[in-house]
A and B are shown apart, each in its own frame.
Chain A
Amino acid sequence: MPEFVHTYRNYIKNTRHCDNHFGFDLRRLAGVEPFLHFLYKEWWRVQFTGLDLLPKDGPALIVGNSNGLIPWPAFMLLYALMSQNSPRRLTVVADMDWIEDVRVHSFLVQVGFVPWSSTNLKYLFSKGELVAAFPEGLPATGKPFSERYRVREFDWSRLLPAFEAGVDIYPMATIGCDEALPTLFNAEHLSKLLSLPSFPVTPFFPWFPFPANLGSLPVKWKMTVLKPTAWDDTRGDRDVLVDTARHHTRYIEGQIQAELNRMLRARIKTFI
């Protein structure tokens, strides 16, 4: 802990005004920090571009692509925001109702995850927090390897609070996550039996005993945050608001997909 305080002095200074309404715990974050550091710097060697586009303070929403049951891109973004020059705390909104294990649930909440609901989103935006969301939702957690880097349809209705609050939405494209943990197939019978949203079978996942089944391939990751698109402020009119939300969610989805295509085309080697 003292070492953490020393290294992340700026982070603690910048986030001392953030509220811990949902149960954020700095000690827990300090506990997993070495692990995140290892993944970010050594294992996946994340190359992050566009971090400086994000606002230094005030509310904003980051929307990205993801895969698998464990939202690794969210953790990497969290670490990147924590260790940059002007650090900020990230709150990730995610579907957490299916997590029945109390320990896992409380761990996620302590690290900065928040159950995804419009009330929570509105609260977070009113407090001026930086929020990340992965709107492909639970069906995309079992996305097979053949569909890698193909974005599933975004649910515009769940991003509606951001449009209501008039918050900037930053698209984020992540390349590497689908190959680090290639989903060979989705075992639907098992997922129903265990009441999980999906059961992605990877080369590691159910096969090895506990710590080793969280393993992943050392793929080089690239993450990009893009500029937010401007839309007309429509906070008054409800019908227009719904229309813009639908329209812009599609546009953001397309932007992320196009950026993924561009990054894949530019990539020469997967592992280096």
Chain B
Amino acid sequence: MAAWTNLKTLGLVDPLRALEKRNPSYFSRYTGLDDEFGFKLETFARWEPIFRFCYEDYFKVDCRGIENIPESGRAILVGNHSGLLPLDGAMITMAMCNAHNSPRRVRYLVTDWFFTLPRVGEWISETGQVRATLENAQKLLERDELVGVYPEGLRGVGKAFPERYRLLDFHPGFVQLAISTQTPIIPVATVGGDEIFPNFVNVKSIGRLLKMPFFPITPTFPWMPFPHMFIPLPVHWLINVHKPIDLGYPPEKANDRKLVLKIAREIQYDIQRDLNKLLRERKSLFTGWDPDET
């Protein structure tokens, strides 16, 4: 079972000092930067051990091909969305922060709904996420940041359990963005995220009442008292980062809707194909992949 050593740093030391000691290159890269979108290294450093615990001990994430993400320069990460709480984004952020040769932050584009919540919105932008608008994404890419997109959107997070790892059709906006800003696209396939919160039913009427995008029923969710209902199952994860795809079209082509849609579909099919392959190789939910085979 999990080693709890990661959590020891919580509350004992100054989080910034701990991050500086553990991950000097990340610290020196982002310390003292004034970020327009509200990234705060201090908040990130405070929460990082918790997610690192999830990454290393709880979900035991296997990360393949993280070296495909460039050490500098812009890129768009495109993935399959999963798990009712979007932990897949957090896990890729952790992989970029801890497993990469030159750690970088990933700026995820987050839907508006989270920013309507009282404290959550601030917290999300302080840990590096950005409200999803085209202007924000363009600004980030002009600053050569790593932008993460989940083109399935909110519908993808609320997938029911029998539909796990079945992609919804991608919104083609990210291809348009990539062509107009001349950015390579990096597809990322994540296995494990759809099983951490098995979502049996989506009760739409309650969701509408509470102004939530969906209201899931899981084995724990509305039943258990507060912190327990957010405890995920300890599923073994795998994140497979593909090679960057350079589209190689001139920026004028960004308005060619047919072309944009076709490229978006191709990337969607690539990710789905990879998911099918990884699922076939998986031994079981909780033990994961055979390390000898691959």
Contact = CB atoms under 8 A, between A and B. Distances in A.
Interface of A: 147, 150-153, 250-251, 253-255, 257-258, 260-262, 264-265
Contacts of A265: 163, 166, 168
B168 A261 contact: yes
Interface in B257-294: 265-266, 268-270, 272-273, 276-277, 279-280
A152 B270 CA distance: 13
Interface of B: 162-163, 166-169, 265-266, 268-270, 272-273, 276-277, 279-280
Contacts of A255: 265, 269
22 contacts: A150-B276, A150-B279, A151-B276, A152-B276, A153-B273, A250-B273, A251-B265, A253-B273, A254-B265, A254-B268, A254-B270, A254-B273, A255-B265, A255-B269, A257-B272, A257-B273, A258-B169, A258-B265, A260-B166, A261-B272, A265-B163, A265-B168
A151 B275 CA distance: 11
Given A251-B266, A253-B269, A254-B270, A261 B167 contact: yes
Given A147-B280, A254-B268, A265-B163, 7 more contacts: A150-B279, A250-B270, A251-B266, A253-B269, A253-B273, A254-B272, A261-B272
Contacts of B162: 264
A151 B162 CA distance: 16
Contacts of B269: 250-251, 253-255, 257-258
Contacts, number: 51
Nearest to A229: B262
Contacts of A254: 265-266, 268-270, 272-273
Q: Which 5 interchain pairs have the tightest Cβ spacing? A: A254-B269, A261-B166, A150-B276, A257-B272, A265-B163
Interface of B is mostly: helix
Contact of A258 (B163, B272, B277, B279): B272
B276 A264 contact: no
B17 to A, nearest CB: 48
Contacts of A250: 266, 269-270, 273
Contacts of B277: 153
A147 B273 contact: no
B28 to A, nearest CB: 43
A153 B279 CA distance: 13
Considering residues A257, A262, A264, which has the most beta carbons from chain B within 10 angstroms of its beta carbon?
A257
Most buried by B among A147, A151, A251, A254: A254
Contacts of B276: 147, 150-152, 257
Nearest to B167: A261
Contacts of B167: 258, 261
Nearest to B271: A254
A151 B166 CA distance: 11
Nearest to B162: A264
Contacts of A150: 276, 279-280
Contacts of A261: 163, 166-168, 272
Contacts of A153: 273, 277
A264 B167 CA distance: 11
Residue from the set A253, A255, A261 with the largest chain B CB neighbour count within 10 Å = A261
Contacts of A152: 276
B119 to A, nearest CB: 34
B268 A258 contact: yes
A265 B155 CA distance: 12
B9 to A, nearest CB: 40
B166 A264 contact: yes
Contacts of B272: 254, 257-258, 261
A265 B269 CA distance: 17
Contacts of B268: 254, 258
A254 B71 CA distance: 31
Nearest to A247: B266
A253 B271 CA distance: 12
Contact of A147 (B166, B266, B279): B279
A262 B155 CA distance: 13
A257 B272 CA distance: 8
A257 B269 CA distance: 8
A257 B165 CA distance: 11
Nearest to B166: A261
Nearest to B276: A150
A253 B270 CA distance: 10
